[in-house]
Amino acid sequence: MAINDFIISTLNVSDDMIFSIDTHKSSDKLHILIKLNDTHPTCPCCGGHSKIKNYSSYSYNHLDVAGIPSIIDWTRRRYVCKECGKSFSEPSPFGPENFHQSYAVLNAIALDLHNVRMTYKDIAHKYHVSNTIIQVYADSFIRAPRLTLPENLGIDEISSSMAKYGGSYLCVFVDNNNRTLNEIL
């Protein structure tokens, strides 16, 4: 099916890794139902052989497909080691463990964080996530040198048509000793 081939090209998997894939649209979102082939991983604790314990459902926000928000619904296997009895999950090719966004979304967010004209709110709205997720991602993965505040900081507001979200004022930080502009919010 052509749409499945297109969707597979946006995921971080190859054709031979996929056991089954299906798509359906519900409530203005495209759900990508996917199950990967069993790779029989070894136990991360002892290196022993494992068997399938059960399955769990895991979801990732993914990039829009033809302007429709998409979600990867992955049927993830849980394994149990035959030697030591420890349980573990199959590794995720779609995104980091503690994030519910795919690598493609995180990459697009990182590229948009470089755009100085976009705020966290703009980026969050574009990728259908919360402002907090954007802030956590920016704080976790992007290393930027922190600017130090001057010894004598002046704070003022100015009226401007450049202000976003219905506000007409901008906050200005000025170094009062050197008479230089520090920041405009």
Q: What is the pLDDT of residues 82-103, one digit of tens each?
A: 999 999 999 889 888 878 899 9
Closest CA to 108 of 98, 21, 91, 118: 118
Q: Are residues 76 and 4 located together in one domain of the fold?
A: yes
Q: Are residues 50 and 130 located together in one domain of the fold?
A: no
Q: Are residues 129 and 116 located together in one domain of the fold?
A: yes
SS3 141: helix
Is the Cβ–Cβ distance between 149 and 143 less than 8 Å?
no
Q: Are residues 21 and 71 located together in one domain of the fold?
A: yes
Q: Are residues 18 and 80 located together in one domain of the fold?
A: yes
Q: Which regions of the chain does DSSP assign to beta strands (E)?
A: 18-26, 29-36, 50-65, 68-81, 87-89, 153-159, 169-175, 180-184
Sign of the torsion formed by the C-alpha atoms of 57, 60, 63 and 64: positive
Q: Are residues 81 and 56 located together in one domain of the fold?
A: yes
Please give the tally of structural domains in the chain: 3
Taking only the tens place, the pLDDT of each residue in 40-89 is 899 998 989 999 999 999 999 998 888 889 999 999 999 999 999 999 99
Give pTM, 2 decimals: 0.69
Q: Are residues 9 and 49 located together in one domain of the fold?
A: yes
Q: Are residues 28 and 80 located together in one domain of the fold?
A: yes
Q: Are residues 2 and 47 located together in one domain of the fold?
A: yes
Q: At which of 69, 94, 119 does a domain end? A: 94
Q: Are residues 84 and 100 located together in one domain of the fold?
A: no
Q: Are residues 21 and 65 located together in one domain of the fold?
A: yes
Structural domain of 137: 96-144
Q: At which of 94, 111, 126 does a domain end? A: 94
Q: Are residues 87 and 19 located together in one domain of the fold?
A: yes
C-alpha to C-alpha distance for 144 and 141, rounded to whole angstroms = 10
DSSP, res 149: P
